[in-house]
Amino acid sequence: MKSNYLLLSALLLSMSSYAQQITVNFEEYEPKSTLVVPEHITTKAKFPFIDVHNHQWNLHEEKENLDKLITEMNALNMKLMVNLSGRGWTSDETKSTQTLSKQIEQIKQYYPSRFAVFTNIDFANINTKGWTEKAVKTLEDDVKLRGAKGLKIYKNLGFSVKDGDKLVRVDDPRLDPIWKKAGELGIPVLIHTADPERFWQPVDRFNERWLELKLHPDRKRNAGEKSNDFTWEQLIEQQHNVFKKNPKTNFIAAHMGWYPNNLPKLDSLMDEMPNMYVEIGAVIAELGRQPHTAKRFFEKRQDRILFGKDSWVPSEYATYFRVLETNDEYFPYHKKYHAFWRMYGLGLSDGILKKVYYKNALKLIPGLDKSQFPE
């Protein structure tokens, strides 16, 4: 009896010790799939493409910066990059105008067909007299005199732009002439409003963005009775109010308007707002986990979807190409804290790929060189 007890104790102790050795947390857990299926690692796009959502901060500096960028773009088959950060990130108007002008001059001199630059709006002094008129004039000059091809609105509108101690709404009436002027100039407005909806939810075991919020707690949003911040729903509604009030202006909703995980809803919104276009920057993980639904959406909305990436990490484009072009199954995303699930390819037709990769951008953004793209 005693020997059986000792044997059982030793067994339990051994099992406990083994369990302690194999303990891993969620951040560490990276299982290697044993699934054997066809793989098509795609590091270069099937067709030349335009990235409508990129941020470059040194195009106005040495030519070597442009040379390096062109080499990296060529490796991806990216024929044209849209730099949305034309005025840099400064409230010094003189400096930002110089940045925009020099960027466009450098591009014209060295690589005139490979880049397009969007301008930006500085909301810092929105509460001063004459601000709206000045902002409209600057936008017009940026397009007509300096050569900007569009307007990019950052997410600080709705998040941090204030009039006194009060947040400025995305649909603030003082901005109406800006949206109207963009339509008159024939340029698109690429606007980023809000962030993923889960950023406003409790950081608990039910939140799909738990790991991202754990690693980047500054991305957590708080709205409610004790906060002056807008809710996610309020921000999205404000953006849509702008679209509806300005039917003659084309708007590109960044990150699929934060509805990539609810494509039926996005589809209904695009019915409601014919001037609403979307780009896929930073949301390919959402599309890759719903290949059937996403493919149907692309087939229906093929004329109003544009390719975008956002952050400039050339190696990450492979995930986009693979999701859009192949029928591959169960392959990893490149950034676990965005997506701990696996991707599936949509296998889009050549006709749809061409529209997403370049035709829709050529239609929407004025003055691009079409000669470097096939029919």
Instruction: State the Cα–Cα distance between residues 229 and 303, nearest whole angstrom.
Output: 35
Predicted local distance difference test score (pLDDT) of residue 129 = 95
Predicted local distance difference test score (pLDDT) of residue 1 = 53
Predicted local distance difference test score (pLDDT) of residue 20 = 55
pLDDT tier, 60 (very low <50, low <70, confident <90, very high otherwise):
confident
Q: Is 9 exposed, middle or buried (0-12, 13-18, 19+ CB in 10 A)?
A: exposed
User: What number of CA atoms fall less than 13 Å from residue 219's CA on the CB side?
Assistant: 17
Q: Name the residue with tokens 């889009």.
A: 348
Measured between alpha carbons, how far is residue 150 from residues 155, 265, 304 in Å?
A: 16, 27, 17
Q: Is the pLDDT of residue 309 over 70?
A: yes
Q: Is the pLDDT of residue 34 over 70?
A: yes
Instruction: Pick 30 or 135 by higher pLDDT.
Output: 135
Instruction: State the Cα–Cα distance between residues 373 and 375, nearest whole angstrom.
Output: 7
The mean of the pLDDT values for the chain is 93
Predicted local distance difference test score (pLDDT) of residue 59 = 86
Predicted local distance difference test score (pLDDT) of residue 26 = 81
SS3 call for 73: helix
Predicted local distance difference test score (pLDDT) of residue 7 = 56
pLDDT tier, 10 (very low <50, low <70, confident <90, very high otherwise):
low
Predicted local distance difference test score (pLDDT) of residue 6 = 55
Predicted local distance difference test score (pLDDT) of residue 24 = 83
pLDDT tier, 265 (very low <50, low <70, confident <90, very high otherwise):
very high
- Read off the pLDDT of residues 270-302 as tens digits, 9 standing for 90 and up: 999 999 999 999 999 999 999 999 999 999 999
Q: Is the pLDDT of residue 2 over 80?
A: no
> Alpha helices, DSSP H only, in the chain?
2-21, 63-76, 93-110, 131-141, 156-159, 176-185, 210-215, 232-245, 263-272, 284-288, 291-300, 317-325, 350-354, 360-364
8 A C-beta contact, residue 330 and residue 342:
yes
Residue type (1 letter), 164: G
Residues 6+ apart with CB under 8 A from 279: 52, 53, 190, 252, 253, 254, 255, 256, 305, 306, 307, 308
Instruction: State the Cα–Cα distance between residues 264 and 276, nearest whole angstrom.
Output: 15
Predicted local distance difference test score (pLDDT) of residue 23 = 82
Q: Is the pLDDT of residue 12 over 80?
A: no
- Output the six-digit token pair for 220: 């957590």
Q: Name the residue with tokens 């900007």.
A: 148
Predicted local distance difference test score (pLDDT) of residue 375 = 84
Predicted local distance difference test score (pLDDT) of residue 67 = 95
Q: Is the pLDDT of residue 3 over 60?
A: no
Predicted local distance difference test score (pLDDT) of residue 61 = 82
**DSSP line for 164-201:** TTEEPPTT-GGGHHHHHHHHHHT--EEE--S--GGGGS
- Read off the pLDDT of residues 187-240 as tens digits, 9 standing for 90 and up: 999 999 999 999 999 999 999 999 999 999 999 998 866 678 999 999 999 999
Angle at 170 between CA 362 and CA 168, to 5 degrees: 145
* Percent above pLDDT 90 for the chain: 84
- Read off the pLDDT of residues 361-371 as tens digits, 9 standing for 90 and up: 999 999 999 99
Distance of CA 155 to the CA centre of its chain: 11
pLDDT tier, 242 (very low <50, low <70, confident <90, very high otherwise):
very high
Predicted local distance difference test score (pLDDT) of residue 9 = 57
Residue type (1 letter), 187: I
Mean pLDDT of 134-140: 98
Q: Is the pLDDT of residue 19 over 90?
A: no
Q: Is the pLDDT of residue 351 over 90?
A: yes
